[in-house]
Amino acid sequence: MYDFAVVGVGPAGARFAREAATAGYDVIAFERGTVGTPLACSGHVSTDIWEYVPDEKKAELRQNEIHGARFHVGGPQTDSHPFYKREAVSNVIDRVDLDKTLSTAAQECGADVREEHTVTDINEKHSGVTLTVSHGEGEEKFHARMVAGCDGPISRVRRQSGLPEPHELLHGVLAFDSTVDNADFVDVHLTAPQFFAWRIPRGKAGVEYGLAAPPSESVPELFDQLTDTYNVKTEQFCSGAIPIGPPNRIHTRRVFLIGDAAAQTKPFTGGGILYGMTAADAAAATIEPDDPATLRDYDQAWREELSSEIALGRWIRRAYSLPPVVQQAGLRALSGEIAVHMDRPSSLFSRDQLRALVGR
């Protein structure tokens, strides 16, 4: 019997597998396809990502450095409001290779990672969990003391365990233009209902265009409007759900959720790579596979780390639905050099940010 079975080997699953294996636990991890594919989300992340990546992989993964963002209430022809830092505020990375890198790191620490293995059923009992797994040679049963559900926004683990859904699922789309662009600003358009659209320069990898909105909206049509305003044709179109708002309960007696499966994401951007890996570290530090009571310790630990940031992120997101004239006035008043961290809304109230505002 394994100590932990991990379902899903994205950043959160790979990170938990690595840390649990490093702690001496027997870990098996299942990925239904090939790690890193298909592409699921943007690769625009804060510089904190390098704390989780081997030093020798940094140059290979980094595609561009970003120093700021231009906010538009309309399309690219409208007035823009720049927010920037003198040092890099974020990086654009190879999102597919990130997953592969984190998976390799987990394997090097002793985790057994199996690709092309789809978990089709979970049977939780008092003393452990039996997983039914389908792969190229048929179907197989695996037994583990605990299961980590890291299988994304439409989580099979979450649903089969009877855990509640995220408060909201947005529909996100993105695609790429092959034009080389080494610019160091992203463009954010407050044109998508209740969310936004974006343009991210990715250096030699081209330009990423994306958009997210509630699924009731015509997201593909809105995306076409975005790319039409830039007069570009895109390829490698990707589409998926973005979970917003973690539920009140993310574990049973033997099953727990991490990452997008638990909606551990930023409400104001939808990004979940850093939040998911932060929660993965909390899980590895607190959960003992022979003691289900430690799942409460995990739930408390990750919420202490992230719940305030998520709550503040909800308030920021509300600004996306303000009348355009109010958005313009707010952006005009606040734009300029900043001292905030893109993953931590609480930094909006830091002394450094106050000094940046006063010093303008």
CA 345 to each of CA 80, 89, 241, 299, 333: distance values in angstroms, whole numbers, following the listed order:
22, 14, 23, 21, 18
Torsion on CA atoms 48, 53, 56, 60, rounded to nearest 10: -80
Is there a single domain that holds both residue 108 and residue 235?
no
Residue with tokens 């809105």: 222
Is there a single domain that holds both residue 21 and residue 76?
no
| Whole-structure pTM value | 0.95
Token representation of residue 290? 């022979």
Is there a single domain that holds both residue 305 and residue 335?
no
Residue 23: strand, helix, or coil: coil
The domain that holds 217 is classified in CATH as 3.30.9.10
How far apart are alpha carbons 66 and 182 in whole angstroms? 9
pLDDT for the residue 74: 84
CA 334 to each of CA 311, 339, 348: distance values in angstroms, whole numbers, following the listed order:
21, 12, 11
Q: pLDDT tens digits for the chain (360 residues)? A: 999 999 999 999 999 999 999 999 999 999 999 998 877 788 999 999 999 999 999 999 999 999 999 999 987 877 899 999 989 999 999 999 999 999 999 999 999 999 999 999 999 998 999 999 999 889 999 999 999 999 999 999 999 999 999 999 999 999 999 999 999 999 999 999 999 999 999 999 999 999 999 988 889 899 999 999 999 999 888 889 999 999 999 999 999 999 999 999 999 999 999 999 999 999 999 999 999 999 999 999 999 999 999 999 999 999 999 999 999 999 998 899 988 899 999 988 888 777 777 766
The domain that holds 102 is classified in CATH as 3.50.50.60
Indicate the number of domains in the chain.
2
Is there a single domain that holds both residue 288 and residue 313?
yes
How far apart are alpha carbons 216 and 293 in whole angstroms? 40
Is there a single domain that holds both residue 159 and residue 76?
no
Is there a single domain that holds both residue 29 and residue 132?
yes
Instruction: Residue count of the chain, please give it.
Output: 360
Is there a single domain that holds both residue 218 and residue 179?
yes
How far apart are alpha carbons 10 and 155 in whole angstroms? 13
Residue 237: strand, helix, or coil: strand
Is there a single domain that holds both residue 31 and residue 116?
yes
How far apart are alpha carbons 182 and 254 in whole angstroms? 47
The single-letter code of the amino acid at 313 is: G
Q: What are phi and psi of 331, to 5 degrees?
A: -65, -40
Is there a single domain that holds both residue 152 and residue 262?
yes
Is there a single domain that holds both residue 193 and residue 103?
no
Buried b / exposed e along 176-211 (16+ C-beta atoms within 10 A) = bbeeebeeebbbbbbbbeebbbbbbbbeebbbbbbb
How far apart are alpha carbons 235 and 200 in whole angstroms? 15
pLDDT for the residue 360: 64
Is there a single domain that holds both residue 174 and residue 239?
yes
Is there a single domain that holds both residue 329 and residue 313?
no
| Beta-bridge partners for 144 | 2, 129
Domain that holds residue 104: 1-37+95-166+246-321
